[in-house]
Amino acid sequence: MTMLGDRQQLSYIASQAADARLNLELETEGMTLNIGPQHPATHGTLRIIARLDGEQVVWAEPACGYMHRGYEKLTEVRTYPQVTTLVNRIDWLGSFANEVPFILAAEKLMGVEAPTRAQYIRTILFELSRIANVSLFLGDLGVQLGAITPVFLAFRDREYVLNLIESATGGRFHPNFDRIGGLKDDLPAGWIDETRAVMKKLRGFCDQIEDLLFGNEIFQSRTRGIGVIPRDVALQYGLSGANLRASGVDWDLRRDHQLPMAWNKADWKVWTHPDGDSFARCWIRLQETRESTKIVDQLLGSIPAGPVMAKVPKIIKVPEGEAWVSTENPLGEMGYYVVSRGDLGPFRVKIRSASFNNISITPWLLRGVYVPDIVTILASLYFILGDIDR
């Protein structure tokens, strides 16, 4: 802890010094560094413009918009069932999780609730997409910090999860499996046993990553005390998911929101960390992957029998009204504000994606840090480009 205190103080002094130099109107040594939009050190096509003084960042801002696809406009000309195809592509590593809040919002407006069996399967698939998403993060994290091995393990073990998702839904990345009133199909035969075996493998993967990465001295010294976000700042910027819990806020929408899903049928823990630094954010995600495998294991044993689809009309018209539903997606709080006019398609959909808020803190967070730490901080904030730009 003393180490953390020192580092916090150092980063504070550095930011003060950077400010002071900025006030001298950047007379000589200033340099603008452009990272991206295609650069191995950034995910996807995020571009960061950083003004440097020596090795220190004086001012930095991500330039978004290289992947803006205008989903909010497109939803206005589509029918409700057609929207799931679009929203699948927002966070492409955990696609199924994107469909769920939209479908729940439409169901809320219609007053329909999916049958219990569908709720269980939805929750299981939701957690599987979280595991697929976050396991890639855990591997990628190593690459960002110079460790190559974890990424091979991550890609190997994520493949097991993707195979499960594919055998249940037909799509590895874009399942498009959720329907208003339930699910497209039931689970295939033998899927439950297979999933149990995979969950065991994934827990082994978590242990391996913990040994390889989190116990590594270099990893620790590069993440501890780097990019500290205090609780109040995290809340003000609307950070969510692991980023918020790493700043000590005990809030998980899976536990704290009443949704027609099956999370409250399983026994699991919400992890928080008091430090708010890069290490805390990574550590929380590792623990969450473990918890997810636990949730899946418990729910697999108790899936009730019954239909997977409620009675809904063939042509879906959603009654007039406004609804907001958000869920705890792999990246954080993902929600849809749906305004309906009793039509075949929505009147307006506001897509609240987690990464947009999570990355909006970077101009504040990157001030005063050293250049190599930019990569650490961006990696630990964890964003998906499609989730920023929508």
Partner 1 sequence: MSTTSNTQPRITSVAEVKAALGDRLVDSFHKEDLWLRVRTDAWKSSMQTLRDAVGFHYFCFLSAIDWMPSPYGRGEDDPTEPAPERDTTIRQGYAGGETRMQVFARVTNPVTHVSVVVKVDVPDDSLTIESIHDVYAGANWHERETHEMFGIKFDGHPDLRNMYLPIDFEGFPLRKDFPLLARMVKPWPGIVDVEPLPGGEIGEGEES
Using CB under 8 A, list all residues that contact partner 1: 64-65, 68, 70, 72-74, 76-77, 79, 108, 113, 232-233, 235-238, 249, 251, 256-260, 264, 321-324, 326, 333, 335, 337, 339, 341, 344-345, 347-348, 350, 352, 356-357, 360-361, 364, 389
Cβ 206 to partner 1, closest distance in Å?
Answer: 28
- Are the C-beta atoms of 337 and 350 separated by less than 8 Å? yes
Alpha-carbon distance of 163 to 160, in angstroms, equals 5
When the beta carbons of 157 and 178 are compared against partner 1, the nearer one is 178
- What are the φ/ψ torsions at residue 257 (nearest 5 degrees)? -105, 145
Cβ 88 to partner 1, closest distance in Å?
Answer: 19
When the beta carbons of 207 and 250 are compared against partner 1, the nearer one is 250
When the beta carbons of 4 and 26 are compared against partner 1, the nearer one is 26
Cβ 75 to partner 1, closest distance in Å?
Answer: 11
* Cβ burial 50-84 (10 Å sphere, 16+ → b, else e): bbbbeebbbbbebebeebeeebeeebeebebbebb
When the beta carbons of 4 and 249 are compared against partner 1, the nearer one is 249
When the beta carbons of 245 and 281 are compared against partner 1, the nearer one is 245
When the beta carbons of 157 and 387 are compared against partner 1, the nearer one is 387
Is the bond preceding residue 101 a cis peptide, omega within 30 degrees? Answer: no
Cβ 66 to partner 1, closest distance in Å?
Answer: 9
One-character DSSP codes across 97-141: HHHHHHHHHHHHHHT----HHHHHHHHHHHHHHHHHHHHHHHHHH
Alpha-carbon distance of 98 to 294, in angstroms, equals 21
Cβ 327 to partner 1, closest distance in Å?
Answer: 13
215 contacts: CB under 8 Å, gap ≥ 6? none
- Which token pair is 368? 């005063």
Cβ 307 to partner 1, closest distance in Å?
Answer: 19
